[in-house]
């Protein structure tokens, strides 16, 4: 916050110096000290001859204030944030990492997008992950960490791509995407969550749109024949384990804390093809998946396959004993399991309520002990207009976003249950205005047993007047809220590039020692490139060689500040050239870049990393390739030539 406040302060002084008001005059009279001097309170104290009025006016810069009362999100220079936040990058197709509480963006991880910064979508290593003919972008919504026994284990982040029906996995040790798969038979993978117990394990995802199956031109205008599938991915292999054919559509999903169930919301039980039709029913439903029974059905061969896909598809429609359909009001959206392992809430969206279901009662249902599906409901508190998502503090309280009311409502789960049982208790603890129209919210450690109730972030879809105008497209506003006390306190606004949707916040102890500072030689991320070098008899760490193989030319070089291992290499026009660069520097943070001028090629090579690119040398002439990361005083001199003979 202090960073931002200082900017604000500098800006205010600039305005003040320009304005014709009395303070501007005062500055002139006092021989107008430089702005830099104002940045330090001690510098101010040294202004001789300044009038008392001037000192009074300017002597309280925010940094001086900060010295006496720190803003709650203040992370001093040189200090580290206590939490990592992983943010989806929405339409950018990426994932971002923020520090919390500072809300500073630390890094962006390209996933489904092309990124000239690190060369994602340009290097051979990234293209192997992206696959052949990959689409140029994605729409990420739900980033979630892998877990073991309900605790974050710091292995992987999983993220959906709604635009192209894909799921990706990011390795947390290097924060790089290592697998991307397309989910067969689906259109628009939306909700995504992980199996918590015994571990991840399955990654569950919701296919939102109903389509004909196979979607090959048949049944185009026969929506009754459209349907959708719930998918379980094996998080270790990234193979699809199974799919479930369901009624209605699927929106968001979450899993329990015992490894028995997952559940998903459906807002289109009507099977309609327009908004009016999708809103018709007063109740839609939550569908609960019985994981053991689904696994057994697959084992026994009780499944079908669709089209070319070999993925087993079990029948989980109404009447199946693999699923339970719980009617809930109206067009539910988010679904969130409580960290005590007892409950799961479905958020009403078009109803002012959230529906609280008990996993124990879901057990009873599948054991045949309950009469009606609604018997698993233990509370249905009325919270406000437009509930979308709920998160928890680990102390029995829930926090729900109200999209239309632009509020976060804090409510107590036990009291909501008592109220549902007919007792006269008030379950609402507080309503806090947020700016504006919140979608997801997420609390620190909130999706695990270790929910610690310190911070909450409200991911607001609209920022309107909260930031300097920057054109018709506004940033989103993600607001940091302190939930450690009785009352929620709004601490900071943070502008974010569209449209993060969701985030997960973990304590730094989960990741701090797992994250590598430099690459390890032999990393699987560039194993295939290393195998190619071996075949060519090249030792990546020391050789600088050009291998000619018919029309193909393979160029191997090292990079160490401030030189590439080769000062030049020569190819013929239309040769297919593969350049492999190994950064042999061992110093933390000493990245190099490789940019081939006028060839649209750039990528980054971190210390001890190997990266490669393949292109056709279709432009004869001299082409300089240069380093793009300012690595050394002679960084600009770090350049060599590719000579393309006509
Ligand atoms: S959704 S704003 Cu894509 Cu997670 Cu609810
Ligand atoms: Cu290497 Cu700049």
Question: What is the distance in A from the centroid of ligand 2 to the CA of 324?
Answer: 59
Q: What is the pLDDT of residue 71?
A: 81
User: Is residue 63 domain-resident?
Assistant: no
Stretch 550-558: mean pLDDT: 98
Atom from ligand 2 closest to the CA of residue 592: 1
Q: What is the pLDDT of residue 275?
A: 96
Q: Is residue 551 situated within a structural domain?
A: yes
Q: Which whole number is the average pLDDT over 116-143?
A: 97
Q: CB of 334 closer than 6 A to ligand 1? A: yes
**Residue 40 pLDDT > 80:** no
**For 286-334, how does the pLDDT look when each residue is reduced to its tens digit (9 = 90+)?**
999 999 999 999 999 999 999 999 999 999 999 999 999 999 999 999 9
> What confidence tier does 69 reach under pLDDT thresholds 50, 70, 90?
low
480 belongs to a structural domain: no
The pair of three-digit structure tokens given for residue 584, joined into one six-digit string: 């042999």
Asked if residue 600 is part of any domain, the answer here is yes
Q: Which ligand has the nearest atom to the CA of 335?
A: 1
Average of per-residue pLDDT across 238-259: 98
Tell me, using a 6 A CB cutoff, whether residue 144 lines ligand 1. no
The single residue listed with the structure tokens 């409200």 is: 458
State the pLDDT at residue 72.
83
- Taking the CB of residue 626, how many other CB atoms lie within 10 A of it? 18
- Which of 501, 503, 504 maximizes ligand 1 atoms within 8 Å of its Cβ, making it the mutation to test the pocket? 501
Residue 148 to residue 151: CA distance in whole angstroms: 5
Q: How far is ligand 2, taken at its centre, from the CA of residue 532, in Å?
A: 25
How far does the centroid of ligand 1 lie from the alpha carbon of residue 143, in Å?
A: 11
Q: Is the pLDDT of residue 165 over 50?
A: yes
Phi, psi of 293 (to 5 degrees): -65, -35
- State how far the Cα of 257 lies from the Cα of 242, in Å rounded to an integer: 21
Task: Report the C-alpha gap between 348 and 336 in whole angstroms.
Answer: 12
The atom number, within ligand 1, closest to the CA of 461 reads 2
In a domain, 357, yes or no: no
pLDDT digits over 630-644, tens only?
Answer: 999 999 999 999 999
- The answer, yes or no, to whether residue 41 has pLDDT greater than 50, is no
Q: Which residue, by CA, sits nearest to atom 3 of ligand 1?
A: 141
Q: Residues of the chain with pLDDT > 90: what percent?
A: 88
Give the pLDDT band of residue 452 (cuts 50, 70, 90): very high
Q: How far is the CA of 552 from the centre of ligand 2 (A)?
A: 27
459 alpha carbon to ligand 1 midpoint, in Å?
10
Choice among 32-46, 91-105, 317-331 with the minimum mean pLDDT:
32-46
Tell me how far the alpha carbon of residue 626 lies from the centroid of ligand 2, in angstroms: 8
**Structural domain contains residue 36:** no
Positive or negative: CA dihedral 254, 274, 328, 505: positive
pLDDT given for residue 73 in this prediction: 84
Q: Which of 11-15, 249-253, 534-538 bottoms out in mean pLDDT, i.e. has the lowest?
A: 11-15
- Write down the pLDDT at residue 332: 98
Structure tokens at 546: 């050009």
Ligand 1 contacts CB of residue 478 (under 6 A) = no
DSSP type of residue 353 = B
25 has pLDDT over 90:
no
| Mean pLDDT computed over 370-380 | 98
Q: Which ligand is nearest to the CA of 334?
A: 1
pLDDT at 70: 73
Bridge partners, 483 (sequence order): none
Asked if residue 539 belongs to a domain, the reply is yes
Residue 18's pLDDT is what? 37
Q: Rounded CA gap, 600 and 375, in Å?
A: 61
Model pLDDT, residue 375: 98
Mean pLDDT of the chain: 91
Å from CA of 520 to ligand 2 middle: 20
DSSP labels, 4-47:
HHHHHHHHHHHHHHHS-SHHHHHHHHTT---HHHHTSHHHHHT-
CA of 590 relative to ligand 2 center, distance in Å:
8
Beta bridge partner(s), residue 304: 313
What residues line ligand 2, using a CB cutoff of 6 Å?
A: 561-562, 592, 627, 629-632, 635, 638
CATH code of residue 580: 2.60.40.420
Structural domain count of the chain: 1
Give the number of whichever ligand sits closest to the CA of residue 587: 2
pLDDT of residue 68: 54
Identify whether 45 is part of a domain.
Answer: no
Which of the four pLDDT bands, split at 50, 70 and 90, describes residue 153? very high
Is 89:136 a contact under the CB 8 Å cutoff?
A: no
What number is the average pLDDT over the span 527-532? 98
Return the ligand number nearest the Cα of 635. Answer: 2
Give the domain range for residue 632.
526-645
């Amino acid at each position: 916050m202090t960073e931002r406040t200082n900017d604000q302060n500098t800006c205010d002084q600039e305005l003040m110096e320009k304005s014709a008001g009395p303070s501007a005059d005062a500055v002139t009279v006092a021989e107008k000290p430089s702005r830099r001097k104002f940045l330090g309170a001690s510098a101010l104290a040294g202004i001789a001859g300044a009038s008392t009025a001037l000192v009074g006016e300017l002597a309280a810069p925010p940094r001086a204030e900060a010295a006496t009362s720190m803003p709650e999100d203040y992370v001093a220079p040189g200090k580290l944030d206590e939490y990592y936040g992983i943010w989806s990058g929405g339409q950018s197709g990426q994932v971002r990492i923020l520090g919390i509480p500072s809300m500073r963006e630390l890094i962006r991880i390209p996933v489904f997008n092309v990124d000239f910064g690190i060369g994602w979508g340009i290097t051979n290593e990234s293209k192997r992950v992206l696959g052949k003919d990959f689409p140029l972008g994605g729409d990420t919504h739900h980033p979630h960490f892998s877990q073991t026994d309900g605790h974050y284990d710091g292995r992987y982040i999983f993220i959906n791509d709604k635009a192209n029906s894909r799921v990706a996995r990011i390795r947390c040790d290097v924060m790089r995407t290592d697998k991307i798969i397309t989910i067969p038979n689906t259109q628009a993978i939306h909700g995504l969550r992980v199996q918590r117990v015994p571990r991840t394990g399955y990654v569950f995802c919701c296919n939102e749109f109903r389509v004909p199956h196979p979607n090959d031109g048949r049944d185009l205008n026969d929506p009754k024949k459209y349907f959708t599938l719930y998918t379980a991915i094996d998080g270790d292999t990234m193979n699809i384990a199974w799919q479930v054919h369901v009624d209605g559509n699927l929106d968001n999903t979450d899993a329990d804390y015992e490894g028995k169930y997952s559940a998903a919301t459906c807002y289109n039980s009507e099977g309609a093809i327009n908004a009016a039709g999708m809103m018709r029913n007063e109740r839609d439903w939550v569908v609960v998946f019985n994981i053991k029974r689904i696994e057994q059905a697959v084992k026994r061969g009780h499944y079908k396959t669709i089209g070319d896909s070999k993925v087993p598809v079990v029948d989980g429609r109404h009447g199946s004993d693999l699923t339970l359909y719980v009617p809930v009001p109206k067009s539910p959206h988010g679904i969130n399991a409580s960290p005590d392992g007892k409950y799961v809430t479905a958020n009403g969206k078009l109803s002012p309520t959230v529906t609280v279901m008990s996993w124990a009662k879901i057990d009873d249902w599948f054991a045949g002990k309950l009469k009606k599906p609604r018997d698993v409901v233990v509370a249905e508190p009325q919270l406000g207009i437009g509930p979308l998502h709920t998160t928890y503090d680990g102390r029995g309280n829930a926090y729900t976003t109200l999209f239309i009311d632009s509020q976060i409502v804090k409510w107590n789960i036990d009291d909501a249950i008592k109220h549902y049982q007919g007792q006269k208790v008030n379950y609402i603890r507080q309503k806090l205005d947020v700016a504006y129209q919140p979608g997801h919210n997420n609390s620190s450690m909130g999706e695990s047993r270790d929910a610690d109730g310190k911070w909450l972030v409200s991911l607001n879809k609209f920022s309107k007047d909260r930031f300097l105008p920057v054109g018709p497209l506004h940033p989103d506003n993600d607001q940091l809220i302190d939930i450690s006390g009785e009352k929620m306190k709004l601490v900071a606004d943070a502008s974010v590039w569209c449209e993060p949707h969701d985030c997960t916040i973990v304590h730094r102890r989960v990741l701090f020692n797992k994250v590598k500072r430099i690459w390890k030689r032999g990393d699987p991320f560039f194993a295939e490139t290393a195998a190619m070098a071996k075949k060519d008899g090249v030792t990546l760490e020391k050789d600088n060689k050009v291998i000619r193989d018919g029309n193909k030319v393979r160029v191997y070089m090292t990079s160490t500040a401030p030189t590439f291992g080769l000062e030049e290499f020569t190819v013929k026009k239309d040769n297919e050239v593969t350049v492999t660069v190994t950064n042999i520097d061992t110093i933390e943070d000493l990245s190099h870049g490789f940019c081939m001028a006028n060839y649209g090629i750039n990528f980054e090579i971190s210390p001890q990393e190997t990266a490669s690119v393949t292109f056709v040398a279709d432009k004869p002439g001299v082409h300089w390739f240069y380093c793009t990361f300012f690595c050394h005083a002679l960084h600009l001199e770090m350049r060599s030539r590719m000579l393309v003979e006509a």
